[in-house]
Chain A
């Protein structure tokens, strides 16, 4: 066995504003199958966090169970992490977020973890507009348990087993849109040019940012009859348009190309520029839903940023919670005493 990552890096590795290089955002060496799409998603997350100069200690990675849910080990090795139980990442993320709203929450899940066992949790975290990034690494199968069809497998799609899937597929982007997600995108693990800015936008977004990344399982579901294979996705993919993310810190002279058709200023002041090929506003929830449907009917997979509401009200604002992280409150603030408790109780009488 010689599967060990060397310590050396390119001598000209660029550094970000914090003086960190990509190496500072790496994690342990992946143990997934060679060629798994999930590893590319990890690389895209590393790239996005590096480019945004996010301090690794400010990130909390949360996940459930699955090959996809294992991946937080393989990126951001200097960040916090919680690998929870199958389908239960949303509740762990919710609890953590409520306790410490100052962290950046990055959830990674699979199509099994989200659309099967975790569907209920997914629905509720979405409707609460919890401030987090929620990435599904969607391979249409349960990779970790040897490739059974998942709930996102398309009708007729067949994995290595060869049996066409008889059931209707859950479209997670449509579901997220219906349930009130405030940032929705779809991408492909094999297209970092699209995926990295999409993740950067999601990290900057205040509210629930959902990205469905089609991420082929090379071992069990990269067959000619699968609609989640590298070849199929490449041939049937259509992008809403090119996407540029301009962080707030950068001046307006930043190196985005002119000629964009839409511009969205996010909560933190950063800007997304869209070079849309088709018609339709990225602020139009219904339009997004019908665009997904129409593309699907035409046998195409629509990718890109589908919807964003930059002015949404995230969970803490809805609840009117305290502005600081709970760990920064002292005992007096956290525990106001019997007198105040009595007052509260009396107000209900």
Chain B
């Protein structure tokens, strides 16, 4: 195995599991340490620079970081990364003065942004400080996109969203709300230097062919349209008995909203088995805690209408079968169809993209699924002046993905407007700094706490169900936030090895609590062979090995990064400082440094 090239910014980045898994690569351990230190504003700003909506995301993020968190591999549960973000947002001081400002003199370039969701807002945030003139279009009356129209206020209070959307709009963005863009050709005709399409995936799926669909139309709603109507106050009540179709997070938001609008008997009925549902586990838990049963393995057969009125739905009972490739099919059990009475049905069975406003003769290629051809790195379409991001680019995802797209699209737009090659990407910003303060002393808290993950307290149920504006999750208080923050293993504080200093005394091997370190003879074997020969074989292929060059005895040091606790004991026990604990800060490539 070749010695590891630790100059490659991606090597140590990969070791920081959470940051690596975060689409926007938020420096998670860095902000968690700041929370533990009570520096909430600083923690907030690190987040803000990276993910733009810390207060929103601290409540609603899909948290791809948490399943990746190293803590989950050595302890029962990962660090509550997402809810710690909220601790920073809730406890920060007024940070307005610390935010960037748009320069007085513009750079002369004009960019149009279609849709005011997180993707467009991120592009705006990144480009405004560089002097771009930004026109933001949205058919809604306020900014935020789906964050405003879809995510219910009991999960995301409006003032949190207003504040964070406000930080961006205050950068001198020119808003054109209540303005539906009905022609991209027209927009391009207005002489914009670039156009960013952040229009989301706004079309909810229907079951147009299901018997009874037309007759019962007034009692059947597309989930996302219905949620938007609730959010904007057009719908204020719902029938007593409600069936929600679908198993994703939209279904969870629909059923919980229905409970708050007068639905006493709300059921979620889903085709797939419970375990296969798309909704996040915590969303399912929260729904069930609000007395909403989830009935799985039921495929809709018919809307049952009597006297022109919807009285219920019929379902075929199915069973999931998996073929040799793990492909699932839902097979009828042959039992009698199940009937569930109801007054209204909400359909949350998926979303699609729709671009009726984009002409097909302006150089933007669309594929057979009517999706535009968009470059995965640059987010440029086949019309070089048009960039896509967020749900509009590759289909429905989530806020943090939209933000990540936004950053990269902003880099591309900036390079494009300056006449530079868009495909050439500037390197991420990195620093690597020793944390040594003395013997047994580090400038990070190297001690590994054994606390189990703390639970976020919830508002009293009766209160929460009585008013859709009452936020269910109350967030950690400062004390609990501190304790949860201390669970973080500081995976960004890297074990850095210097071959020439090692005297091969084995002290690090002996002390390492998780048997990460090995000194091995190698006869030019590859990584796979080495993995099998470690003290504890390195079976987690997602985690890298860190290999040194040949040492004095001809052996090499091989460290399995998989379950390193970043406790620093190897460095403390090393007599020659061949190991050192060094903090690696990785900042994703952005159009310009923000803070």
Q: What are 24 A-B pairs at a CB distance below 8 A? A: A2-B440, A2-B446, A2-B568, A5-B511, A6-B447, A6-B567, A8-B74, A8-B450, A8-B514, A8-B563, A8-B565, A10-B514, A10-B563, A11-B563, A34-B507, A40-B507, A43-B506, A189-B505, A189-B506, A190-B504, A190-B505, A190-B506, A216-B505, A231-B552
User: Does B138 sit within 8 A of A, measured CB to CB?
Assistant: no
User: Does B6 sit within 8 A of A, measured CB to CB?
Assistant: no
Of A12, A33, A42, the residue contacting B539 (CB under 8 A) is A12
Q: How many residues of B contact A (CB 8 A)?
A: 38
Query: What 1/0 flags go to A201-219 for Cβ under 8 Å of B?
Result: 0000000000000001010
Of A7, A40, A222, A231, the residue contacting B510 (CB under 8 A) is A40
In angstroms, Cα B47 to Cα A310, docked, is 68
**Residues of B at under 8 Å CB distance from A?**
73-75, 440-442, 445-448, 450, 503-507, 509-511, 513-516, 536-537, 539, 552-553, 563, 565, 567-569, 572-576
Which secondary structure characterizes the binding site on chain A?
loop
Contact A230 B536 (CB under 8 A): no
Give A15-42 interface residues, CB cut-off 8 Å to B: 30, 33-37, 39-40, 42
Contact B514 A39 (CB under 8 A): no
Q: Which of A6, A9, A40 has the most CB of B within 10 A?
A: A6
| Given A2-B446, A8-B513, A35-B574, A230 contacting B504 (CB threshold 8 A) | yes
User: Does A192 sit within 8 A of B, measured CB to CB?
Assistant: yes
Chain A residue nearest to B577 in the complex (CB): A34
In angstroms, Cα B504 to Cα A37, docked, is 10
Contacts of A5 in B (CB 8 A): 511, 513, 567, 569
User: Does A252 sit within 8 A of B, measured CB to CB?
Assistant: no
Contact A230 B503 (CB under 8 A): yes
Contact A34 B575 (CB under 8 A): yes
| Given A2-B568, A230-B503, A230-B505, A7 contacting B440 (CB threshold 8 A) | no
Contacts of A12 in B (CB 8 A): 536-537, 539
Query: What 1/0 flags go to A37-78 for Cβ under 8 Å of B?
Result: 101101100000000000000000000000000000000000
Contacts of A234 in B (CB 8 A): 504, 552-553
Contacts of A13 in B (CB 8 A): 515, 536
Given known contacts A2-B440, A9-B513, A11-B73, what 16 new A-B pairs fall within 8 Å (CB)?
Answer: A2-B441, A2-B447, A6-B513, A6-B567, A8-B75, A9-B74, A11-B74, A34-B572, A34-B574, A35-B507, A40-B506, A40-B507, A43-B506, A189-B505, A218-B503, A218-B505
Contact A43 B509 (CB under 8 A): yes
Contact B448 A35 (CB under 8 A): no
In angstroms, Cα B75 to Cα A304, docked, is 41
Contacts of B506 in A (CB 8 A): 39-40, 43, 189-190, 192
Of B440, B568, B574, B576, the residue contacting A1 (CB under 8 A) is B440
Give A81-136 interface residues, CB cut-off 8 Å to B: none
Chain A residue nearest to B446 in the complex (CB): A2
Contact B505 A37 (CB under 8 A): yes
Contacts of B565 in A (CB 8 A): 6, 8
Contacts of A37 in B (CB 8 A): 505
Chain A residue nearest to B576 in the complex (CB): A35
In angstroms, Cα B539 to Cα A14, docked, is 14
Q: Which of B73, B74, B507, B572 has the most CB of A within 10 A?
A: B507
Contact B510 A39 (CB under 8 A): yes
Contacts of A2 in B (CB 8 A): 440-442, 445-447, 568
| Closest A-B pairs by Cβ, 3 of them | A35-B575, A6-B448, A43-B510
User: Does A4 sit within 8 A of B, measured CB to CB?
Assistant: yes
Contact A33 B563 (CB under 8 A): no
Contacts of A8 in B (CB 8 A): 74-75, 448, 450, 513-514, 563, 565
Contact B536 A7 (CB under 8 A): no
Chain A residue nearest to B75 in the complex (CB): A8
Query: What 1/0 flags go to A306-347 for Cβ under 8 Å of B?
Result: 000000000000000000000000000000000000000000
Contacts of B552 in A (CB 8 A): 231, 234
Q: Which of B442, B445, B565, B568 has the most CB of A within 10 A?
A: B565
Contact A1 B515 (CB under 8 A): no
CB distance from A67 to the nearest CB of B (A): 14
User: Does A348 sit within 8 A of B, measured CB to CB?
Assistant: no
Q: Which of A2, A192, A218 has the most CB of B within 10 A?
A: A2
Of B441, B513, B567, B575, the residue contacting A33 (CB under 8 A) is B575
Contacts of B515 in A (CB 8 A): 9-10, 13
| Given A8-B514, A11-B563, A34 contacting B568 (CB threshold 8 A) | no
Contacts of B539 in A (CB 8 A): 12
In angstroms, Cα B503 to Cα A222, docked, is 10
In angstroms, Cα B535 to Cα A43, docked, is 13
Of B73, B513, B567, B573, the residue contacting A34 (CB under 8 A) is B573
In angstroms, Cα B251 to Cα A21, docked, is 46
In angstroms, Cα B441 to Cα A33, docked, is 15
CB distance from B556 to the nearest CB of A (A): 15
Contact B563 A42 (CB under 8 A): no
In angstroms, Cα B539 to Cα A261, docked, is 36
Chain A residue nearest to B514 in the complex (CB): A10
Contacts of A216 in B (CB 8 A): 505
Contacts of A14 in B (CB 8 A): 536
Of B75, B505, B569, the residue contacting A35 (CB under 8 A) is B505
Contact A1 B507 (CB under 8 A): no
Contact A10 B445 (CB under 8 A): no
In angstroms, Cα B74 to Cα A198, docked, is 33
| Given A3-B572, A5-B569, A35 contacting B503 (CB threshold 8 A) | yes
Contacts of A6 in B (CB 8 A): 447-448, 513, 565, 567, 569
Contact A1 B441 (CB under 8 A): yes
Chain A residue nearest to B510 in the complex (CB): A43
Contacts of B503 in A (CB 8 A): 35, 218, 222, 230-231
| Given A34-B573, A34-B575, A35-B574, A3 contacting B505 (CB threshold 8 A) | no
Contacts of B573 in A (CB 8 A): 34-35, 39
Chain B residue nearest to A3 in the complex (CB): B440
Contact A4 B447 (CB under 8 A): yes
Q: Which of B563, B573, B574 has the most CB of A within 10 A?
A: B573
In angstroms, Cα B534 to Cα A14, docked, is 13
CB distance from B446 to the nearest CB of A (A): 5
Contacts of A30 in B (CB 8 A): 511
Contacts of B511 in A (CB 8 A): 5, 30, 39
Contacts of B450 in A (CB 8 A): 7-8
Contacts of A4 in B (CB 8 A): 447-448
Contacts of A11 in B (CB 8 A): 73-74, 563
In angstroms, Cα B573 to Cα A14, docked, is 24
Contacts of B504 in A (CB 8 A): 190, 230, 234
In angstroms, Cα B504 to Cα A40, docked, is 11
In angstroms, Cα B507 to Cα A222, docked, is 15
Chain B residue nearest to A26 in the complex (CB): B513
Chain B residue nearest to A22 in the complex (CB): B515
Contacts of A189 in B (CB 8 A): 505-506
Contact B563 A218 (CB under 8 A): no
Contacts of A7 in B (CB 8 A): 448, 450
